């Protein structure tokens, strides 16, 4: 195994993208359908029509981990989806807040990530607990299971809800963790139904999360609320954007990705996974044909734009992923 990792034939951790050999040994069916599903999303185009009057430009970043050498595009709303720092001290977080507050965007919204320990009293450093340091947000909106309604040009408003929680992936120095296998998750019925922009640190399961690192409970909450935009980070190698269409094709895809990987041998044996894969193909082709024959370009309705805004390039320690910009 170590030799295969050294030769880059196998990934070193679950936070790295799977190699071709990883996919073949784990579940070639899931890998094939995941690629096909990405093609379907590309053919379906943007999740909602481009705004025609007074568009609100939302600039999305995440996982800066103390770094500020980022060229941030101009816009109306700047969102940081957590992991501002590495150590999570009050001083480190204040430095990131100062940087964000100095940006020219009309509104700035930030949530915590698992590395931002100060925000979670159970993971706060001894020095921060001892000296009881505080933060000056300087007009930046910090959201922790809370909403803010923001006003923009032309009388337009956006309701933004933010929450930092993630499935457990580290020790007690990581903030806002919960266990998926035991106890409740923080997501069911937690997000107001009139939310326009949802900001979380964790991705929803099977969407921009290397197919397996996101949260299934958060995904169900996104299905319930269906915000126009969902911004997150955490999984550096999952950075990018995609649409959620809340239809039979997506449901089948999520069902397949939620199944335990069966290995290459068992993937050859007929099972419920085969039915999920077939549904993805059939419903997906139908959705693409309906979109282009009946609705035309930009004709999608009621979908959500997902953005994994992580700027850190994998585990390199360097900023490398592009800043994501969405017009609402």
Q: Which two tokens stand for residue 52?
A: 């025609």
Predicted pLDDT at 6: 66
| Structure confidence by residue, pLDDT tens digits, 256-287 | 999 998 888 788 888 999 999 999 999 999 98
Query: Could you tell me the pTM of the whole model?
Result: 0.95
Q: What is the CA radius of gyration of the chain?
A: 20
Domains of the chain: 41-245+300-327 (3.60.21.10)
Residue 4: pLDDT band (50, 70, 90) is: low
> Mean pLDDT over residues 68-84, rounded?
97
pLDDT at 58 over 80: yes
> How far is it, in rounded angstroms, from Cα 261 to Cα 267?
9
| Structure confidence by residue, pLDDT tens digits, 117-172 | 999 999 998 888 888 889 999 999 999 999 999 999 999 999 999 999 999 998 99
> How far is it, in rounded angstroms, from Cα 72 to Cα 151?
21
pLDDT at 245 over 90: yes
324 burial level (CB within 10 Å; 0-12, 13-18, 19+): buried
**Contact call for residues 83 and 62 (beta carbons, < 8 A):** yes
Predicted pLDDT at 59: 98
Strand 229-232 to strand 304-308: parallel, antiparallel, or no bridges (unpaired)? parallel
Task: Calculate helix-pair angle for 28-44, 272-290, nearest 10 degrees.
Answer: 10
Chain centre distance of CA 56: 20
């Amino acid at each position: 195994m170590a030799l295969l990792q050294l030769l880059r034939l196998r990934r070193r951790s679950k936070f790295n993208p799977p190699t071709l050999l990883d996919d073949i040994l784990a579940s070639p069916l899931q890998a094939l359908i995941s690629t096909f599903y990405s093609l379907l999303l590309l053919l379906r185009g943007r999740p909602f029509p481009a705004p025609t009057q007074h568009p609100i430009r939302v600039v999305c970043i995440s996982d800066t981990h103390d770094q500020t050498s980022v060229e941030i595009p101009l816009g109306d709303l700047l969102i940081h989806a957590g992991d501002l720092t590495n150590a999570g001290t009050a001083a480190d977080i204040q430095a990131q807040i100062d940087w964000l507050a100095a940006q020219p965007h009309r509104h700035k919204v930030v949530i915590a990530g698992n590395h931002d320990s100060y925000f979670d009293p159970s993971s706060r450093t001894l020095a921060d607990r001892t000296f009881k340091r505080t933060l000056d947000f300087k007009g930046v909106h910090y959201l922790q299971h809370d909403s803010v309604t923001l006003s923009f040009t032309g009388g337009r408003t956006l309701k933004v809800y933010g929450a930092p929680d993630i499935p457990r992936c580290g020790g007690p120095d990581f903030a806002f963790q919960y266990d998926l296998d035991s106890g409740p998750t923080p997501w069911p019925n937690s997000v107001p139904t009139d939310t326009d922009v949802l900001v979380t640190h964790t991705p929803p399961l099977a969407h921009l999360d290397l197919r397996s690192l996101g949260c299934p409970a958060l995904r169900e909450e996104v299905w319930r609320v269906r915000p126009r935009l969902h911004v997150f980070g955490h999984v550096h190698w999952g950075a990018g954007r995609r649409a959620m269409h809340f239809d039979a094709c997506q449901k089948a895809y999520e069902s397949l990705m939620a199944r335990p990987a069966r290995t290459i041998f068992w993937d050859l044996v007929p099972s419920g996974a085969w039915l999920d894969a077939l549904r993805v193909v059939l419903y997906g082709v139908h959705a693409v044909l309906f979109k282009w024959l009946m609705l035309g370009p930009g004709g999608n309705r009621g979908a959500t734009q997902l953005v994994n805004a992580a700027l850190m390039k994998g585990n390199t320690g360097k900023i490398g992923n592009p800043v994501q910009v969405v017009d609402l």
